[in-house]
Amino acid sequence: MNNEQLINKYNVAGPRYTSYPTVPAWNLEDFNLPDWQIDIKKTFQKDQNIGIYIHLPYCESLCTFCACHKHITINHSVEGPYIEALLKEWQLYLSLFDQKPVLKELHLGGGTPSFFSPENLKYLIENLLSEVTVPKDAAYGFEGHPMNTTRKHLEVLHALGFNRVSFGVQDYDAKVQRAINRHQPFEKVKEVTEIAREIGYTSISHDLVYGLPFQTINGIKNTVEKTLSLKPDRLSFYSYAHVPWIKGNGQRGFSEENLPGGAEKRALYELGKKLFEKAGYEEVGMDHFAKPSDELFIAREEGRLHRNFMGYTTENAQTLIGLGVSAIGNSATTYFQNDKVLKSYLEKLQNGKWPVVKGHLLTEKEVLAREIIEDIMCNFHTKRLDVFADDNPEIYGELRAMEQDGILTFNQSDLWVKEPGKAFVRNIAMLFDEHLKKDSQKPLFSKTI
């Protein structure tokens, strides 16, 4: 089967697997706050290492390709009340712990974290860090918008222990930028990248997206070559997730006919990958590339690469706390998500209430499937196949079909993703997702290619 035939066969809707089970499959009826709090306490008693994701939802303008939870405003008076709510939420978590947490990983995401002033970010992070132990190998990073990330932002956060920053580039083509309402010249990205390097950030990442409206082979080549000229330590090359049925008009700023699809879209990725590898970057997991000197690549080589709601990570703290509106977190066997409605989120915390509104308690079978899916997404290999097959012997037949297509190979206990199969790693992971086999009356996920 040639590459185009494989794409036509496997280009179906499927999760990105930053978690398993995915949010649409959560069993909301069995979730309750008391049991969730007990699980967090038990997890923390076994391992005091934690990670924190802080969702900072505000943006000054709407990027029409974005599927994130965001709030568009130019009113910066919202910063103070939101930060106070975050700190109140953090105090609720501290009340569950019987000793000082060790903050291994901290990530500021959005929205646009650099919407907030350096002074307000300093106030937030200083208050948070005053209650934790900061280890020497801590990994703290934030998402910076090249158009409003200032030297002061970079200096303040670096002084607080931040060593990683990712800049959202997406694409440099003017026509593409107009379509997605993301206007930023190369010179501005160059400026903030060089400032971050001068200040001392040890891992600078650029985020690109393929599959955007009006993208072409020549356009991608130009974007990638400009990106490589700045020598970032990491590169993310994400597939555009077209989910307008979830995100409404935010992803209706262009016509469906303007989107490259199928083999055309995959060709954009293959060109980018070829250019990245020629420049000395290695593919790490799905959609990510890194220099051999970068910690992400080193973690992959040492078998320490993990995947969670923040994407690929070098840390594996069993407790991941999501602070902020719509933020998601997890403990050893639970997932949980905050209120998605900003007004409601703020009101709950003003009244001293938990903003967590839904979650999921994992079964033993789901824990096993989660481990296998993470193996596949991080290492392109798992050794747990026979354990899963004890209750799911039909998996071998499904794997044989994929083996015949040349995208994987396996024996009774091990599964290896072959080089052509890396394009279909989400499809391979889907074999272990029992929830996908249940009928759905509405679309939930973007296409896998």
What integer pLDDT is reported at residue 244 of this predicted model? Answer: 58
Give the right CATH number for 26-321 from 3.40.190.80, 3.40.50.150, 3.80.30.20, 3.30.70.3270: 3.80.30.20
Map out the domains of the chain as residue ranges: 1-21+363-433, 26-321
User: pTM to 2 decimals?
Assistant: 0.92
Q: How far is CA 7 from CA 4, 208, 221, 377, 406, in A?
A: 5, 22, 22, 19, 13
Give CA–CA dist 222/295, Å, rounded: 27
73 annotated ligand binder:
no
**Cα–Cα–Cα angle for 334, 338, 339, rounded to 5 degrees:** 140
252 annotated ligand binder:
no
Give CA–CA dist 20/16, Å, rounded: 10
**193 and 204 Cβ atoms separated by less than 8 Å:** yes
**324 and 336 Cβ atoms separated by less than 8 Å:** no
**214 and 175 Cβ atoms separated by less than 8 Å:** yes
Helices (H), 289-391: 295-301, 342-350, 364-379, 385-389
445 annotated ligand binder:
no
**83 and 77 Cβ atoms separated by less than 8 Å:** no
Q: On the CB side of 356, how many CA atoms lie within 13 Å of its CA?
A: 25
**279 and 228 Cβ atoms separated by less than 8 Å:** yes
Cα 71 from chain centre:
19
What integer pLDDT is reported at residue 242 of this predicted model? Answer: 63
Say which DSSP state 48 is in.
-
What integer pLDDT is reported at residue 6 of this predicted model? Answer: 84
Give CA–CA dist 163/154, Å, rounded: 10
Nearest to 362 by CA among 354, 375, 371, 353: 371
Nearest to 142 by CA among 158, 164, 160, 120: 164
3-class SS shares of the chain: helix, strand, coil, % to 5: 45, 20, 35
407 annotated ligand binder:
no
211 annotated ligand binder:
no
Q: How many residues does the chain have?
A: 449
Give CA–CA dist 28/23, Å, rounded: 10
Location of structure tokens 């040890």: 202
> Digits of tens for pLDDT over the chain (449 positions)?
677 788 888 888 888 898 899 999 999 999 999 999 999 999 999 999 999 999 999 998 888 777 778 889 999 999 999 999 999 999 999 999 999 999 999 999 999 999 999 999 999 999 999 999 999 999 999 999 999 999 999 999 999 999 999 999 999 999 999 999 999 999 999 999 999 999 999 999 999 999 999 999 999 999 999 999 999 999 999 988 765 544 554 545 577 788 887 888 889 999 999 999 999 999 998 899 999 999 999 999 998 999 988 889 888 888 999 999 999 999 999 999 999 999 999 999 999 999 999 999 999 999 999 999 999 999 999 999 999 999 999 999 999 999 999 999 999 999 999 999 998 999 999 999 999 876 555 555 777 77
327 annotated ligand binder:
no
Q: How far is CA 223 from CA 183, 240, 300, in A?
A: 14, 16, 27
Give CA–CA dist 55/326, Å, rounded: 8
53 annotated ligand binder:
yes
65 annotated ligand binder:
yes
74 annotated ligand binder:
no
DSSP codes joined into one string, 105-134: EEEEEES-GGGS-HHHHHHHHHHHHTTSB-
144 annotated ligand binder:
no
63 annotated ligand binder:
yes
DSSP codes joined into one string, 408-447: EEE-SS-EEE-GGGGGGHHHHHHTT-GGGGS--SS--S-B
Nearest to 284 by CA among 422, 421, 165, 143: 422
Nearest to 13 by CA among 280, 260, 331, 243: 243
What integer pLDDT is reported at residue 245 of this predicted model? Answer: 44
Domain 1-21+363-433 falls under CATH 1.10.10.920: yes
Element (H, E) at 396: helix 395-404
Could you give the 3-state DSSP secondary structure of residue 283? strand
